[in-house]
Amino acid sequence: MAEVLLFHHVQGLTDGIKAFASELSAAGHTVHTPDLFEGRTFGAIAEGMAYVKSVGFGEIAARGVKAAADLPAELVYAGFSLGVVPAQQLAQTRPQAKGALFFDSALPIEEFGTWPQGLPVQIHAMAQDEFYLEDADAAKALVAEGGELFLYDGDQHLFADSSLPSYDEQAAKLVLERVLNFLGRS
């Protein structure tokens, strides 16, 4: 079974992110869900972004790196939207990473150097999500490195978080199925 470090999105460590982690745990995986916002959650993306800007993107990323410090190196790094920042940084820079799971976002590979040879990555997003569309080229570059990209019908951001109005149950079930398959191979 895989060990996963799962980073939350800009609205914080919501009940929906905890539920997603619980689904992975119920399948036998070990899942760590650090709270990069120190207990804060936000009702809207704009509110969360205001918090991130007040703290600084660098500080949020540093909190993510710190969360991995005492964990084994052989992890699958996962992140929802903003959480992709520390997940991708760690996947690309921490030796012995087992894989990467990115939801709703992807960053240019060059942001953190090069993509580790043979490191599997799976990306999930809604095809018309305005935030994902900004990252589509980065996602395609990761796929070219041997990754998988799954696009779902719709335009919702954070569609796999069951605690948010953007939740799409049908798409989220398919995400979970594909993620569990990925983790089974990691």
pLDDT in tens, 120-170: 999 999 999 999 999 999 999 999 998 999 999 999 999 999 999 999 999
pLDDT at 103 over 90: yes
pLDDT in tens, 51-72: 999 999 999 999 999 999 999 9
Tokens 């996962």 belong to: 78
| Ordered strands of the 99-103 beta sheet | 30-32, 3-7, 76-80, 99-103, 121-126, 148-152
In the chain, how long is the greatest CA-to-CA distance?
39
83 DSSP assignment: G
pLDDT at 38 over 90: yes
Give the span between the Cα atoms of 84 and 22, in whole angstroms. 19
**Could you give the 3-state DSSP secondary structure of residue 10?**
coil
**pTM score:** 0.97
The domain spans of the chain are: 3-185
Structure tokens belonging to residue 167:
């939740």
Q: How confident is the model at residue 106 (pLDDT cuts 50, 70, 90)?
A: very high
Please compute the mean of the pLDDT values over residues 75-82 and round it to a whole number. Answer: 98
Q: Which CATH architecture has domain 3-185?
A: 3-Layer(aba) Sandwich (3.40)
CB contact at 8 A, 64 and 2:
no
Q: How confident is the model at residue 186 (pLDDT cuts 50, 70, 90)?
A: confident
